[in-house]
Structure 1
């Protein structure tokens, strides 16, 4: 069984997603601010959830060239590798934030209403991380 963590890196916020223990389905988890506690917070999730790998969104333009933020993502990846000792896999994040911004389904709206909260059930950053992670899981068919 393989469990993975997915990361949508942003300059202000970092979206986090986790797969199920079978490595088949990705779920939005939470959002962290991009600050000095970020690596520690991610490492804690990796340790607590016993993940076997990290999936990181790779920021590429439509033509395949790296976007300006990709340099920061590469630096982040190196630090994360050193601190977690886990393999890190890149998956193109193209359109993940746009997909994550789709309106909530009727079911999600109903759940939100039933909880009587103004908080969105799914936040774009963690949803984008789940989309990135799901792409990886489908591509690699982990079991």
Structure 2
């Protein structure tokens, strides 16, 4: 039984979150510089069984793709070429960065900690994963 890995891909950093093996809880994993993501994923897939990858796909309010797809689409193509056996699913990531920032405030993190962009990215990936898991429960 594999985990589900969530990716919040950005130009500079990639936030990652993962489920437990039973797919009950979404946990933040780490932040990786974008240029190192494929090395990280190769290593991670060798150590952990990953059933599926969820990637945040940025949409605008009119449901059209945002400008960020200019760097996300090449990432998706390369991912599918390097890891064809790993299913990948795109999930709407609108507002996740704002939700992540608010979550950090609600958790009582100090202002200095909330300015850590890497932490925002991992919390965003966790929110993307948690949202996906909740959607799957309703589909069942």
Match of 2:95 in 1: 95
Deviations 1:44-95 (A, max 9, x none): 2222121111000011001101101113212101111221230000000001
RMSD over aligned Cα atoms? 2.4
Counterpart position of 1:115 = none
SS in structure 2 opposite 1:66? coil
**Which residue is equivalent to 2:107?**
105
Asked if the contact 1:5–1:46 (Cα under 8 Å) also holds between the matched residues in 2, the reply is no
The equivalent residue for 1:56 is 55
Greater share of helix: 2
> Bigger shift: 120-129 or 87-96?
120-129
Distance 1:14 1:97 in 2: 13
Asked whether 1:44 is paired with 2:46, we answer no
Deviation at 1:104, TM superposition (A): 4.7
Count of aligned positions? 133
Structure 1 spans left out of the alignment, 5+ residues: 113-117
> Where does 1:1-143 land on structure 2 (aligned, <5 Å)?
1-35=1-35, 37-84=36-83, 85-102=85-102, 103-106=105-108, 123-141=119-137
* TM-score, normalization by structure 1: 0.82
| 1:55–1:90 Cα contact (<8 Å) kept | yes
Runs of 4 or more off by more than 3 Å in structure 1? Answer: 118-122
**Runs of 5+ in structure 2 lacking a partner?**
none
Shift of 1:139: 1.3
